[in-house]
Amino acid sequence: MSVIVVSGTGTGIGKTVVTAGLAALAREGGRRVAVVKPAQTGVGAGEPGDLEEVRRLCGEVRTLELARFPEPLAPATAARRAGRGGVRAADAADAAARLAERYDLVLVEGAGGLLVRFDDDGGTLADTARLLGAPVLVVAAAGLGTLNSAALTGEALRTRGLDQLGVVVGSWPERPDLAARCNLLDLPDAAGAPLLGAVPQGAGLLTPEDFRARAAQWFAPALGGVWDADAFTSAAHPGPMAAAAVL
C-alpha cells in the first residue's frame, strides 16, 4: 500500500506519535516517506505543529500541511472563526495522491476523529480516504470508553465501504488498569479489525534516537514492526481470578 490514512477515535490519543512511529519504521526500511496534515488547528503562524513533531521524532521526511488555524477547534469551525474557507477533502486526496507518485509511503494524519468536518460542506477524513481508495488505521485510547468509540468508528468505515487496516492503542499506560488490560482482548471484536500495536505512554518524550530504535517494538509486522499481539495481550490480560481479586 502506498497511502495510509491515520484517524482516531477522538482527539489527544496519540495519532501524531503513531504517525511518527510508522514513518520511522518505513525510513529504517529504506522507504521514502511523506506525511500530509490536511488541517492543523490550535497552532499559530510560525509555531511548531504536528508535522514538526513527526520530523523531530522520525527524522527528515517530506511533509505537507494544507492549512492551519489558530484556535483548537474542529477544522471547519476553526476555519469559519478565522474568516477562511476550510480544507476540501478532494484537495487533501489530490495532495496525497501526487505525493504517492514520488514516495513509497504517504501517511495522511487527520484531526480528531474520522467524521470531524474539514469544511462547511461536510467533507471529512473519511471522504479523503474514499477518494484515495486508501486503508484507514485507527488510533484508539486504552481505557474505559474506548470499545464504544472503536465500534462506532469501525461501523462508520464499513458503512462507507472503507477498509480498516487495524487498530493501534495510541498511549499504553505504564500501569494499565483493569479496563485497559481487558480492552486489549476486546478491541478487535469491537472495531471489527485486528489490533496492530500499542505505543507506550510517553513515547513522544523519548530522544529521537531512542524513538527510532524502539518503534519496531510497538507495531505488528503488518505495519513493519515486530510487535506480537497475542504475546502482548496474554501478558497484559488478567485471568478470571486476577479480575476477581481486583474487583
Residue 128, H or E segment: helix 125-132
Largest CA distance in the chain: 58
132 Cα distance to chain centroid: 17
Pairing status of strand 164-172 against strand 136-140: parallel
The answer to whether 69 and 75 have CB atoms below 8 angstroms apart is yes
209: its cell numbers:
534516537
In this structure, are residues 22 and 57 in contact, taking their beta carbons and an 8 Å threshold? no
Cell of 173: 499506560
CB-CB contact of 92 with 75 (8 Å):
no
Name the CA radius of gyration of the chain, rounded.
Answer: 18
Look at residue 115 and give its three-state secondary structure: coil
3-state secondary structure of 87: coil
Q: Is 15 a catalytic residue?
A: no
Among candidate residues 3, 20, 25, 37, the one labeled active-site is 37
Q: Which of 111, 69, 72 is nearest to 92 (CA)?
A: 111
Virtual CA dihedral for 194, 199, 201, 206, nearest 10 degrees? Answer: -170
Q: Which residues are catalytic?
A: 37
